[in-house]
Amino acid sequence: MTAKMIRWAAAAFAAGIALTSSIAVAQEAAVEYPLLKPTRQEWSFAGIFGHYDQAQLQRGYQVYKEVCSACHSMKLVKFRNLADEGGPGFTEDAVKVLASTYSIQDGPNDAGEMFERPRLPSDAFPSPFANDNAARAANGGALPPDMSLLAKARAVHRGFPWFVFDMFWPYQEQGPDYIVSLLTGYQDPPEGVTVPEGTYYNPHFINGISLRMPPPLDNDVVQYSDGTPQTKEQYAKDVSAFLMWAAEPHLDARKALGFKVMLFLIVFAGILYFVKRQVWRDVAH
């Protein structure tokens, strides 16, 4: 009877498919952005024992400061963070000097007036524009996104079935991979494709075929002092690592603590296994 029922169910299922597919309009699925998935990179902070490369974060900060910060704010990061453990490793004095090169409006003072003063380590990075509208006005209507969380906000979905594997072989670096791919992915549009005026074709862009940001990096635009190659690719990688740190400043602490906690839990589970076996030794179950 089971076999008969299964055959009956299969027939009903096939009929259902035939019926519903006749209703379904055979149309192309909507275009999915980005056109090209990010290219996977090697990162020092990937994997269970991953941690940030201090020299890379310093170079990345340099690229951010000299190139990106002309248009992009980073409102959630404070100068003092540059000296935090697991970060770019600036000295406290260096942070003080660096912060004081920027000014900020404070007040009101005793006379009730607002005044400018040098920034302190406890102040956030300065924003390039007074407000979002000013930023839009200066960038052809497009708002350069704040970069504080960009490396986590631009994690491009890999889709089925990859996310199943990613669960057990962790891959949490989609964000920085995306940023590297975007920064190095500018190219001429293919034959027959026209992009809106004032935008630049980039198949790695998450939200369309082109974006308003002109290619920001080129070879030798930033002077490195440690002999690292001054290529577009190297800049892209360094600044992406820096942005990952900006978005997830406690990653080093998280992975280091994780290892201790996991080790403890595994040993504890082992002990509990023997406890359980001992308790149940005389009870058939």
Residues that bind another protein (CB under 8 A): 1-2, 5-6, 13, 16-17, 20-21, 23-25, 27, 29-30, 33, 48, 76, 81, 145, 148-149, 152-157, 160, 163, 166-167, 170-172, 174-175, 207, 247, 249-250, 253-255, 257-259, 261-262, 265-266, 268-269, 272-273, 275-276, 279-280, 283-285
| Residue 143 to residue 145: CA distance in whole angstroms | 6
Q: Are 104 and 63 in contact (CB under 8 A)?
A: no
Q: How far is the CB of 172 from another protein (least distance, A)?
A: 5
Nearer to another protein, 27 or 194 (CB): 27
SS3 assignment, position 117: strand
Report CA dihedral (235, 236, 238, 243) to the nearest 10 degrees.
Answer: 140
Nearer to another protein, 198 or 258 (CB): 258
Q: How far is the CB of 1 from another protein (least distance, A)?
A: 7
| C-beta neighbour count of 2 within 10 angstroms | 6
Burial class from Cβ neighbours inside 10 Å (0-12, 13-18, 19+) for residue 56 reads buried
Nearer to another protein, 102 or 280 (CB): 280
Nearer to another protein, 138 or 261 (CB): 261
Nearer to another protein, 107 or 258 (CB): 258
Q: How far is the CB of 275 from another protein (least distance, A)?
A: 5
Nearer to another protein, 48 or 114 (CB): 48
Nearer to another protein, 36 or 221 (CB): 36
Which of the 8 DSSP states describes residue 116? E
Q: How far is the CB of 53 from another protein (least distance, A)?
A: 19
Q: How far is the CB of 248 from another protein (least distance, A)?
A: 8
Q: Are 177 and 162 in contact (CB under 8 A)?
A: no
Q: How far is the CB of 73 from another protein (least distance, A)?
A: 12
Q: How far is the CB of 92 from another protein (least distance, A)?
A: 17
Please state the φ and ψ torsions of residue 106, each to the nearest 5 degrees: -130, 180
Q: Are 216 and 68 in contact (CB under 8 A)?
A: yes
Concatenating the DSSP letter of every residue in 167-198 gives HHTT---HHHHHHHHHHH---PPPTT--PPTT
Residue type for position 48: I
Q: How far is the CB of 230 from another protein (least distance, A)?
A: 31
Cα-trace Rg, the chain? 27
User: Which residues make Cβ contacts (< 8 Å) with residue 50, sequence separation at least 6?
Assistant: 43, 44, 251, 255
Nearer to another protein, 238 or 248 (CB): 248
Half-sphere exposure of residue 88, counting CA atoms within 13 Å on the CB side? Answer: 27
